[in-house]
């Protein structure tokens, strides 16, 4: 009862730790494979940080509160005074009550010794719990530092993803321009081919006039050679553009692999944090078990005090009779 009043309810701390552990476990099971859910992950980390702050405040309040020992010592002093009055009253009784008074004194001394032993044992448990609470506070600070480091890593990875997307958009623009140039070159080649076919057809129909236009035919052949040279240059330009596109795609694939490796490292760090949460939950359950045992011991002590009070009332009633 006193421990629940002065040091807070450890069950609430256990429920908070279990809630944080469940949140991390769910997050691990639904961990995103890309960074489209980065804002949701940041909000979850902020909620966990607020929960850790509440746990720190609870631990600090439990460490600084020491009224339990003082109240038990006050009750012990009151019991000592009542026992002294009881000894004075029994000393004035008749000789026939001497044996009964001696047995009563022995019982009172045993109860007093047991109460003092329980008090010392409870004080040792309180000191042990304070040391454990200090250790848990250190673990919470380390976990908070790890969360801050993960926030920085997520921000850096988000920046890298944005840069990669910008580069991909630039590469797509270059590819579109190269395709446009290739289409224009194909149209020019097609047009020239149609013109060549038309000229050949005219030459077949006007074979007799061909002799008169031999000089023009030579000029046409030279133009054809120039056209073929231009087509060859355009083909080479298309091949260079294709090689450049392949190189850009290779660079993009390498960057994607690097980003996936960073995501795997982040997943491993999250797994380590889950293990740390499980150890913390086990320690909280151990503290809960010790709390229940102390409550049981305190209940037995209160039962003995109640029997002593009942015996005192009966003794006063017998004295009045």
Local mean pLDDT, 10-residue blocks, the chain (321 residues): 41 44 44 50 70 69 53 64 63 58 74 78 79 80 81 79 79 78 76 76 65 70 78 80 82 82 81 80 80 79 77 76 65
Quote the radius of gyration of the chain (alpha carbons, Å).
46
Query: CA 182 to CA 188: how far, in whole Å?
Result: 10
Residues 233, 290, single domain; the answer is no
- Give residue 93's pLDDT: 52
Nearest to 79 by CA among 243, 319, 317, 311: 311
Residues 178, 246, single domain; the answer is yes
**Nearest 5°: CA angle at 164, between 160 and 167?**
140
- Give residue 320's pLDDT: 75
- Give residue 281's pLDDT: 80
Residues 135, 227, single domain; the answer is no
Give the pair of three-digit tokens for residue 216: 């023009």
* 73 Cβ contact list (under 8 Å, min separation 6): 119
Residues 220, 280, single domain; the answer is no
Number of domains forming the structure of the chain? 2
Report whether 45 contacts 147 (CB < 8 A). Answer: yes
Task: Confirm whether pTM is higher than 0.75.
Answer: no
- Give residue 5's pLDDT: 39
CA 136 to chain centre: 17
Which structural domain, as residue segments, surrounds residue 203? 172-254
């Amino acid at each position: 009862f006193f421990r629940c009043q002065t040091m807070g309810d450890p069950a609430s701390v256990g429920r908070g730790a279990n809630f944080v552990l469940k949140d991390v476990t769910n997050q691990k099971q639904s961990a995103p494979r890309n960074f489209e859910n980065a804002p949701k992950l940041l909000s979850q980390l902020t909620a966990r940080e607020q929960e850790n702050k509440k746990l720190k405040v609870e631990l600090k309040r439990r460490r600084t509160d020491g009224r339990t020992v003082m109240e038990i010592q006050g009750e012990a002093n009151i019991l000592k005074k009542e026992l002294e009055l009881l000894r004075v009253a029994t000393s004035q009784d008749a000789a026939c009550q001497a044996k009964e008074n001696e047995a009563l004194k022995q019982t009172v001394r045993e109860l007093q010794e047991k109460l003092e032993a329980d008090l010392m044992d409870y004080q040792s448990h309180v000191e042990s719990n304070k040391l454990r609470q200090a250790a848990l506070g250190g673990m919470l600070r380390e976990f908070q530092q790890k969360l801050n480091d993960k926030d920085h890593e997520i921000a850096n990875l988000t920046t890298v993803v944005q840069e990669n997307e910008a580069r991909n958009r630039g590469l797509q623009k270059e590819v579109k321009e190269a395709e446009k140039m290739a289409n224009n070159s194909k149209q020019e080649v097609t047009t020239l081919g149609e013109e060549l076919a038309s000229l050949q057809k005219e030459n077949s129909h006007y074979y007799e006039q061909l002799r008169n236009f031999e000089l023009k035919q030579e000029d046409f052949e030279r133009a054809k050679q120039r056209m073929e040279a231009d087509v060859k240059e355009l083909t080479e330009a298309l091949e260079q553009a294709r090689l450049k596109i392949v190189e850009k795609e290779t660079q993009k694939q390498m960057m994607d692999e690097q980003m996936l490796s960073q995501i795997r490292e982040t997943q491993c760090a999250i797994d380590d944090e889950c293990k740390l949460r499980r150890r913390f939950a086990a320690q909280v359950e151990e503290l809960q078990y010790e709390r229940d045992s102390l409550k049981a011991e305190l209940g037995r002590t209160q039962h003995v005090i109640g029997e002593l009070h009942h015996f005192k009332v009966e003794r006063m009633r017998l004295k009045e009779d």
